[in-house]
Structure 1
Amino acid sequence: MTAHTREGYQGTGPGAITPDGCAVERYLRLPVGREPDVVASAVPPGSSVLELGCGVGRVTHPLLARGFAVTAVDESPEMLGHVRGARTVCASAESLDLGGERFDVVLLGSFLVHSGDPEVRRGLLRTCRGHVADDGCVLIEREGADWHERAPRESRTGDGGLVRVAAADPVGPDTSSIRVEYEFPDVRWTQTFLSYRYRGDAFARALAGAGLAVDTVLTEDGTWVRARPV
């Protein structure tokens, strides 16, 4: 089943497909990664967390188990239908407006900050700044520096699948069309999406434009950073 998709985004395979090409059933199979550990290492225990693009709750549920108060946001009702124990909001993250409500932590994972649409990128950072407390922080997941060049590449996952980044084709200045294939013994999904590559100080300038600045890098590979309001 395929929902209305964003331009440049599509997905194939069984089950519901979200507007950005994600297969809901694929994410139900995806194991918990390092994200809960990254969050726990960067913010005080029990913080209130606004999770943008929560999907099926793969990160939401471990955060709840660790005592965080999570408001989980996703534009896909099919994704949100699998989230348990958190307050949920069905909305696009880039246009979210919770009426002045602020959080200790805003979580922007899944490389969403690399959206191929500049208006979406700006909207996401506005959402982050508009919903983070003045003494709070924004945790952002970035792509690796060479990810657009390292295609094709593939890796095994902890859920018995194979993830293959089959192509990263340039479609505009610093923007690539990324095609990812997910293969399991019983099923196959694909997702195609647009990814923007920040060069030089472009990421810092984008944050500054939203009133944010990085205060520390959280992981050795540089893909997770913590930003604060300025």
Structure 2
Amino acid sequence: MGGWTREGYGGTGTGAITPDGCAVEVYTRLPAGDEPDVVASAVPAGASLLELGCGAGRVTHPLVERGFRVTAVDESPEMLERVRGARTVCSSIETLDLDERFDAVLLPSFLVHAGDVRVRDALLRTCRRHVADGGCVLVQREGEDWHDRVPRERRAGDALIRIASADPTDDPGVSSIRAEYVFPDGTWTQTFLSRRLSREDFERALAGAGLAVDAYLTDDRTWARALPVR
């Protein structure tokens, strides 16, 4: 396990665990879902992409294979060791300042639901700081009933991903989520904090960072494309 963890976050299982509780081994095994398709449908071919919270490259690698120029950012060096074909930057997202702009900035993995509002707002400011004037920011949101629809599970490759619980915390609107990743040869868990965001809350948070929703890219509105505003 790493030397430090974020408060309210943790993980169990063999191998390195990142500060937000993610098991590196899990993210080297999980297949990419529909994320590469969503990104490819929303940005020009060959665009320069800044992927925030890239993990072990689960989504990075398919994007590179499609011809995108990807700069992949993660705070875990153990995760970044697994990334191939992309420029990598080891940094927290909140403090990232590359002094350059990209055609598209990706904020995936439901990071916008950070339990700490200050962290969420810093994430969105990082997106705004790095998006080109004619570019866009792609944000992945939770499903609107996810805090209530527990337990639930789904298959991903040979893994069973189970959201086992979503327990209220002392902070209204924030749940402590426990996820379980069950593989034939082992089980890993992650506990993390997630803040409910209605569509109105989400759009208000974007506006605070100088961004505005241009379109929801999926029927369930879990992916949104935002544009920079002055």
Preserved CA contact (<8 Å) 2:30 2:159: no
Structure 2: segments with no counterpart, 5+ residues: none
| Aligned counterparts of 1:95 and 1:2: Cα–Cα separation in 2 | 20
Partner of 1:195: 194
Q: Which amino acid aligns with 1:25?
A: E
1:29 aligns with 2:17: no
Partner of 2:154: 155
Q: CA deviation at 1:199?
A: 2.9
| Aligned counterparts of 2:49 and 2:156: Cα–Cα separation in 1 | 27
User: What is the CA RMSD across the aligned residues, in angstroms?
Assistant: 0.9
**Number of equivalences:** 228
Q: CA deviation at 1:3?
A: 3.6
Structure 1: segments with no counterpart, 5+ residues: none
Partner of 1:78: 78
Percent identical among aligned pairs is 72
Partner of 2:228: 229
Q: Which amino acid aligns with 1:167?
A: S
Preserved CA contact (<8 Å) 1:2 1:11: no
| Aligned counterparts of 2:220 and 2:213: Cα–Cα separation in 1 | 15
Partner SS for 2:94: helix
| Aligned counterparts of 1:55 and 1:162: Cα–Cα separation in 2 | 19
Partner of 2:5: 5
Q: CA deviation at 1:200?
A: 5.4
Partner of 1:56: 56
| Aligned counterparts of 1:149 and 1:27: Cα–Cα separation in 2 | 26
Partner of 1:133: 132
| Aligned counterparts of 2:102 and 2:60: Cα–Cα separation in 1 | 15
Preserved CA contact (<8 Å) 1:70 1:86: yes
Partner SS for 1:93: coil
Q: CA deviation at 1:106?
A: 0.1
Q: CA deviation at 1:215?
A: 0.5
Partner SS for 1:27: helix
Partner of 1:168: 166
Preserved CA contact (<8 Å) 1:3 1:16: no
Q: Which amino acid aligns with 1:164?
A: R
Partner of 2:203: 204
Q: Deviations over 1:71-126 (max 9, x none)?
A: 00000000000011111000001110112x00000000000000111111011000
Partner SS for 1:220: coil
Q: CA deviation at 1:138?
A: 0.1
